[in-house]
Amino acid sequence: MNEEIKYSGSCFCGDVQFELNGNPELMAHCHCDSCRHWSAGPVSAFTLWKPENITITKGEDGIGVFNKTPGSARKWCETCGGHLFIDHPSMGLVDIPAVIIKDFPFKAAIHVNYQETVHPMADGLPKFKDLPSEAGGSGEELPE
């Protein structure tokens, strides 16, 4: 019997809830200024999902949107301000902060935008100056 993997998550207050099916396409740490400000932390632990693997189960009408750039739409709960998703239409993926997925076994594979780090992390993972070449970046890796 092959049961599909499912996860659930929500905003801070629980007014917006969602389910995730399967596994993310990537789990990583982002060190860019934009993600640090959005996450209010020195590094952002993110997961990338195909949109078809995400289902809003409660509170869809309470989701606010802000477009800092044409390439991303940041979404949050309008009740509590809790962060939910970042849509990346050009990539065909949705970024969900790992911390809001209940009981999620986060295991980063890489670091991106490491040239902007304010919190160096010696963990043996590849540290990309910007993004891997497959994602439109230089593909250049930086030392720990």
Neighbours of 46 (CB within 10 A): 22
Gap between the Cα atoms of 104 and 117, Å rounded: 25
Kindly tell me if the per-residue pLDDT of 2 is higher than 70: no
Q: What does pTM read for this prediction?
A: 0.93
Residue 1 confidence (pLDDT): 38
Element (H, E) at 37: helix 33-39
DSSP letter at 88?
A: E
Cβ atoms within 10 Å of 83's Cβ, excluding its own: 20
DSSP string covering 38-81, please? HHTSSSEEEEEE-GGGEEEEE-GGGEEEEEEETTEEEEEETTT-
Contact 68, 1 (CB under 8 A): no
Distance CA 124, CA 98 (A): 20
Q: What's the confidence (pLDDT) of residue 3?
A: 58
Bridge partner residues of 86 (DSSP): 74, 95
Identify the structural domains of the chain with CATH numbers, from first to last.
Answer: 7-142 (2.170.150.70)
103 φψ region: left (φ > 0), alpha (ψ -120 to 50), beta (else): left
Question: pLDDT tens across 8-23, in order?
Answer: 999 999 999 999 999 9
CA angle 107, 112, 5 (to 5 degrees): 30
Per-residue pLDDT of 32-76, as tens digits, reads: 999 999 999 999 999 999 999 999 999 999 999 999 888 899 999
